[in-house]
Structure 1
């Protein structure tokens, strides 16, 4: 598969709504039933502002954006640090996670994309990056 991304290209931001029901489904799929992902009482008792999304779910949504931008190219490397929680209110709306990206380089058969992943204008993933096979 050939990727048509060019160095310096700014990719169309992708927005994903995260609701409590998504956290329940992710918990079932991942086996991570930590109560900070569904109980306000437990989340606040450990110093969180409320129920938070699973870090790996947040990262998976960033990967979904990369897959969309690249047309399903092979991922060679994908990583980030979990720097700020994504607080998910107990309502039908939830919160929006916005994934933006810029192609940093295309060289030696690899495409490197720097990501910016935010919720409510705050970065929630530190140093997120994807490297794809061109």
Structure 2
């Protein structure tokens, strides 16, 4: 059954999803975004500036949260009319084949009318909250 605005109420919890991120994902993202900062792919350079390891791009992490909302809304990225986050922690990505896991969950905060809902999101990696004030406005059928 398709997700419908009429069936959603404030407080509705969206099932948690996990997204893996590997060093290969970061290299691909660098190519797509043009952000080739060495802290996102070179462990030696990342550690030289005091980081614990290579870290995921903040915008990559944000994109995973947008992916989560898009999947919940039926796969249409155009359903998201507003999206914003604050970055609160880094996502270290070890070079161990498994990488890191970003876990995202959400709750419908309010119905805004005109088929739109506000969704508050939580994103965590290695137990740390990596996004704060994360909210999407989504138009549902």
Give the alignment's TM-score, normalised by structure 2: 0.89
Match of 1:86, SS?
A: coil
1:42 is aligned to 2:45? yes
Unaligned runs of 5+ in 2: none
Distance in 2 between residues matched to 1:129 and 1:7, nearest whole Å: 14
The root-mean-square deviation of aligned C-alpha atoms, in Å, is 1.5
Counterpart of 1:129 in structure 2 is 135
1:1-134 pair list within 5 angstroms: 2-3=4-5, 4-71=7-74, 72=76, 74-109=79-114, 110-134=116-140
1:25-46 alpha-carbon deviations (Å, 9 max, x no partner): 1011111100000111111111
Shift of 1:133: 2.3
Is this contact kept in 2: 1:13–1:100, CA < 8 A?
Answer: yes
Unaligned runs of 5+ in 1: none
Shift of 1:2: 4.9
Q: How many residues align?
A: 134
Give the alignment's TM-score, normalised by structure 1: 0.94
